[in-house]
Chain A
Amino acid sequence: MAAARKTAKVASAPLTEPSVRDDGRERSLVTPEGVDLKLRLGDAGERAAALLIDLAIMAGVMIAFALLALLALVGAKGKGWEVIGTLALLVFFVLRNLYFVLFELTPGAATPGKRAMGLRVAARNGGRLTADAIFARNAMREIELYLPLSFLASNGDQVGAWLNLLGLLWCAVFVLFPLFNRDRLRVGDLVAGTWVVKAPTRKLAPDLVETSRPSVGRFKFTMAQLDAYGVKELHVLEDVLRRYETKTIALVAARIRLKIDWKAAPDESDGDFLAAYYAALRGRLESRLLLGKRRKDKHDKG
């Protein structure tokens, strides 16, 4: 009785988990060659983090410049203040208005903060990202970022405080704009026709079939055993093998052995068994693909 309950618990383990791929952030981008690249949008958290990193960098540069200017002034006994004053104003202007623009004009189309979060700016229509679009999306920061900040920073008397609060509420519409539309567009994105997408640089992971080569030969599966699962389960299995968490491996191995009625040899390791089953299942599904039969999942009898 206890054993039966245990297997029932194992049976509800990860192989039935829904795929994590589709979470509503995928958008299609069809290249002129006609291939859909399936972009993923950056989410609000990532973008907020990117902005914070950028603001920190800007503040850092400003502080460093101020210290340098102070040192120079002390060194020159106050003589070069004109040059330094001019420079200070221009540095501040460039940081405030051109920091985002200049970085987004580079081939990466991303500020250091976006780069760190694996984000980039792209044109929504799939065309070139033009300089005027970059300028437009960043000029809008004036009402989305700097105006609310100035409301936050200023403190006045009773009336002034109320006015500030009203102003802040008004600004909140712009600040929170990305949370209220499907594509997570800022006001600036809307005006410029851009959006912010994930640009992850993935390494080519080793083929699981190759890494499991030495041990595979020991396992022989029958056709019936291979027909227990479809493509969806194969992908979950691939995910499990790539992560290789001992607990999950053991759970999944137990579940598959139960399903395909596999008698484990005494020295058989769970990892080897799964790798071998993965390779064999993939081979079986691929050969069926060649005949034009794609078996979606285990419920697909096709």
Chain B
Amino acid sequence: MAELHLKSYRFRAEREDDWRRLEKLLTKVGKGSPNALSDEELLALPVLYRQALSSLSVARATSLDQGLVDYLESLSTRAYFLVYGTRSNLAERLGGFFGRAWPQAARALWRETLASFLLTLIGVAAAYFLTLHDPDWFSAFVPDGLAGGRGPTASVEAMRATLYDKGEHHGLSVFAAFLFTHNSGVAIFAFALGFAFCLPTAMLMAYNGAMLGAFLAVFGMRGLGFEAGGWLAIHGVTEISAVILAGAAGLKIGWTLAFPGDLSRPAAMAQAGRQAATLMAGVVVMLFCAGILEGVGRQVIQNDLARYGVALATLVAWPAYLYLPRRRSAA
């Protein structure tokens, strides 16, 4: 029975229990959350992981049992992903996101944000003056579905009515939910399109601005500019800022793809992508706020000045939150 004195056989017999124990812990986590482990098990995990790793190194060098090496490779890899995986809990993550990551990403992408803002502005100005000059342009910028009866052919009274739809408070939450999901979709789309070298995102930004400009023009022509401004601004400040930030995130992606800078292209892309994604998560939060302001706030608040008041508050709050310098100690 000389075969049973094989080194690899004894090696395995001595360590197999530890491997099995690690495997059991991994299965337990795989079924539930990391919280499924007791304190004692959590402490044992890194120790068992390192033992498995060193077993793997030894087995690769000395054992000729390929089945054993394969098993240890799979076991160590699973343990590695758990030990070095994402472990912080949800509250910590949210705190980190709102406290640091989001404002940091917004400040890091200020150039793109500026570009995105200017593109929107160009769209607004172009559409505003074109529509003012020749109202037929309106239909070129605004799809019929979105116009909802507003347009160059509608009467002043009908236009005014669309700004103050009193007593129609049914279905506000559906409306808010619709606006939120629709706008988030557009924003994520603007981000994803950035990958195609910025151009589609830039066009989307300008087009978005153009819709706004055309709307303002048709209301302005009838002397409803002030009222329409309030109707738009109460949620528009938040919403348009969000879309501009989404555009900035998209531009960042496209720009990095074209000009990766000092890093290798994949490395630069990964870095830019994560930064832009953090900003995008913030955009979704902003759009959620905008959806509530638009779906509920605007319907409940019918006074122009109150609408402007809310708009002004958001106009101050968002930039202050995102761009005001803060203490570095937390980071």
Residue A223 is within 8 A (CB to CB) of chain B in the complex: no
The reply to whether B77 and A191 contact each other, CB–CB distance below 8 Å, is no
Residue in B9, B75, B77, B85 whose CB lies within 8 Å of A39: B77
Q: Among B2, B81, B176, B280, find the residue whose CB has the most chain A CB atoms closer than 10 A.
A: B81
Name which of A62-70, A202-210, A249-257 contacts chain B: A202-210
Contact check, A82 vs B29: say whether CB atoms are below 8 A apart: no
- Bound CA span A260–B99, Å: 72
Measured CB to CB, the closest approach of chain B to A287, in angstroms, equals: 8
- Say whether B191 contacts A139, CB under 8 Å: yes
Number of A-B residue pairs, CB cutoff 8 Å, is 216
Q: Provided the pairs A33-B53, A192-B274 are in contact, do residues A285 and B64 lie with their beta carbons within 8 angstroms?
A: yes
Counting contact residues on chain B (CB < 8 A from A), the size range is: 35 or more
Q: Which positions 154-189 of chain A face chain B at CB distance < 8 Å?
A: 174, 185, 187
- With A33-B50, A35-B53, A129-B85 known as contacts, the answer to whether A286 contacts B8 (CB < 8 A) is yes
Cβ of A17 to closest chain B Cβ, rounded Å: 14
Binds B, one of A4-12, A53-61, A263-271, A276-284: A276-284
Bound Cα distance A143, B97 (Å): 26
Let me know if A234 and B64 touch, CB within 8 A.
yes
Is A124 part of the contact surface with B, judged by Cβ < 8 Å? Answer: yes
Residues of B within 8 A of A208 (CB): 65, 67
Minimum distance in angstroms from B230 CB to a CB of chain A: 26
- Flag if A143 contacts B67 (CB, 8 Å): no
A86-B173 in contact (CB<8A): yes
Binds A, one of B124-132, B217-225, B264-272: B264-272
Q: Are A31 and B188 in contact (CB under 8 A)?
A: no
- The smallest C-beta distance from A166 to any residue of chain B, in angstroms, reads 13
Contact at B71–A192, with CB atoms within 8 Å? no
Contacts A37-B77, A86-B173 known; A142 to B9 CB distance under 8 Å?
no
The residue in A82, A96, A124, A234 that gathers the most chain B C-beta atoms within 10 A of its C-beta is: A82
Shortest beta-carbon distance, A302 to chain B, in Å?
A: 15
Contact residue among A82, A107, A141, A203 (Cβ-Cβ distance under 8 Å from B85): A107
Q: Is B111 close to A, CB under 8 A?
A: no
- Residue on A with the closest CB to B84? A128
Complex Cα distance A144/B178, Å? 24
**Is A245's CB within 8 Å of the partner chain B?**
no
Count the A residues whose beta carbon is within 8 Å of the partner chain — how many? 79
Known A33-B50, A207-B68, A286-B62; judge A187-B3 contact (CB<8 A). Answer: no
CA distance A31 to B77 in the complex (A): 9
**Contact call A289/B3, Cβ cutoff below 8 A:** no
Chain B, residues 178-215, CB within 8 Å of chain A (1/0): the string is: 10110011001101110110000000000000000000
Instruction: Indicate if B12 sits at the interface (CB-CB under 8 A).
Output: yes
Interface residues of A in 201-230 (CB under 8 A from B): 201-205, 207-210, 213, 216-217
The 8 Å CB contact of A35, one of B56, B184, B275, is B56
Report the Cα distance A124→B265, complex, angstroms: 14
Question: Within 8 Å of chain B (Cβ to Cβ): is A15?
Answer: no
Say yes or no for A89: interface residue by CB 8 A criterion: yes
Q: Which residue of B lies closest to A131 (CB)?
A: B93
Q: Is A108 an interface residue (CB 8 A)?
A: yes
Interface status of A238 (Cβ within 8 A of chain B): yes
Taking CB atoms, residues of chain A closer than 8 Å to B193 are 142-143
Q: Which of B8, B73, B86 contacts A37 (CB 8 A)?
A: B73
B30 at the interface (CB under 8 A from A): yes
Is A38 located at the chain interface by the 8 A CB criterion?
Answer: yes
Name the A residues within 8 Å of B318 (CB-CB).
Answer: none
Instruction: Give me the 6 closest cross-chain CB pairs, A-B, nearest first.
Output: A193-B270, A136-B277, A191-B273, A142-B192, A85-B174, A93-B181
> What are 5 sample pairs from A and B whose C-beta atoms fall under 8 A apart?
A140-B195, A216-B3, A238-B65, A289-B61, A290-B62
Interface set of A (CB-CB < 8 Å, partner B):
29, 31-33, 35, 37-39, 82-83, 85-86, 89-90, 92-93, 96-97, 105-109, 120, 122, 124-125, 127-133, 135-137, 139-144, 147, 174, 185, 187, 190-193, 199-205, 207-210, 213, 216-217, 231, 234-235, 238-239, 242, 279-280, 282-283, 285-286, 289-290
